[in-house]
Amino acid sequence: MQFNGFLKVGTSLLPSALRKPELITYLCQLAKELKQQDWLQYAAFCNLAMARCEQTLFNAPGEALALTDAARLFLSSEKEIRALQAPGFDEHLQAALNCYSFAIKVYIEMNQPVMAASLCLEVGNALKEMSRPGEAIVHFQRAAELQTQTPIEALLSMGEMATCKILTRDYDGALSVFTEMQLMCQERGLPLPGTSTPVGAFLDIVAKCEISRVLLLMLLEPPPQKLLPEHAQTLEKYAWESFDPHSQVTFLPENVFLLLQSVVMACQEKDTESLKSLQTELWPFLTAEQNHLLHLVVLERIAPSGQGI
């Protein structure tokens, strides 16, 4: 089949006598052939036509699946164009985003929030991989909103939001997200007996949020009059005069807590040399993202740029 023939999809190539179920089968086969020949955007158009047929047949699952396949094909086409460094106007990316949006809407109408959330995450991760974290934030946020019945998954989506905010240097926004995550863990997680500290995966997320929040507060250095109560309470735990050796046993490993406490004190004392030494000691205990934040804290102490505020 020649290239010019494929351009006629939807007109002379589509037998008008076919009924919709037969037309869907025909379009499915045509899409496979187009995909095999690496004409991804035309295969995507076939899937869009399939989605339209499924919609007229009131087959919502089939419509959502066809829209999702079209979105992925458009996205693959966009990635190929970018890999070749060919000029473009992101038209395939925009087409993919539109298809994802319609598929998500269909899943929501079908009362399948889990499927809708998974597509939101797919879009967010794709945009993040394309170095568009600012655009990815809204999709991770929507995924978290759709995952209210599965708190761990919602927290992971919120973590992706925070990461994208850090990538866009919205450190204050990232701090707000981590604070919200920590509060959500305390509300939704089962606490240890006699404490308000959650267990299991919730505890791991609380610990990660705590470290990231402390580092972000050291980076932002908000003046006392602008320090929110929840952030002031966090910093109070790391003041020597209020140190309770039993307050953090179920929260952070003792060595990490003490090192983090030393970081806070070094920042407050503007002791750059001690901070550099602590950075080396903390490095193995932090995630790549947390190490990046600590590195920014050290850089701000060496040569203040004001970017953190």
pLDDT for res 18: 52
Instruction: Give the pair of three-digit tokens for residue 92.
Output: 């395939």
Rounded Cα distance, 262 and 267, in Å: 8
Secondary structure (3-state) at 270: coil
Q: In a 3-state reduction of DSSP, which class is residue 191? A: strand
Residue in the block written with tokens 């599965």: 150
Residue 62 identity: G
pLDDT at 183: 93
Secondary structure of 147-164 in HEC code, one letter for each residue: CCCCHHHHHHHHHHHHHH
| Amino acid present at 207 | A
pLDDT of residue 243: 54
Q: What's the burial of 98, exposed, middle or buried (CB within 10 Å: 0-12/13-18/19+)?
A: middle
Q: Cα(195)–Cα(131) distance, rounded to whole angstroms?
A: 42
Instruction: Give the pLDDT score at 2.
Output: 36
How many whole angstroms separate alpha carbon 221 and alpha carbon 268? 9
Q: Which residues contact 115 (CB under 8 A, 6 or more apart)?
A: 64, 107
Q: At what angle do helices 171-188 and 229-236 cross, to 10 degrees?
A: 80
**Distant-in-sequence contacts of 233-238, Cβ < 8 A, 24+ apart:** 234/210, 235/264, 238/214, 238/264, 238/265
Q: What is the pLDDT along the chain (309 residues), one digit of tens a residue?
A: 333 333 344 433 455 445 778 888 999 999 999 999 999 999 999 999 999 999 999 999 999 999 999 999 999 999 999 888 887 789 999 999 999 999 999 999 999 999 999 999 999 999 999 999 999 999 999 999 999 999 999 999 999 999 999 999 999 999 999 999 999 998 888 776 767 778 889 999 999 999 999 999 999 999 888 889 999 988 888 876 555 554 444 578 999 999 999 999 999 999 999 999 999 999 999 999 999 999 999 999 988 876 544
What's the predicted TM-score (pTM) here? 0.88
DSSP code of residue 196: S
CA 274 to chain centroid, in Å, comes to: 34
At 146, phi and psi to the nearest 5? -80, -10
pLDDT digits (tens, 9 = 90+) for 234-271: 888 887 655 555 444 457 899 999 999 999 999 999 99
The confidence score (pLDDT) of residue 240 equals 67
Centre a 10 Å sphere on the Cβ of residue 283 and count the other Cβ atoms it contains.
12
Of 125, 133, 250, 144, which Cα lies nearest the Cα of 193? 250
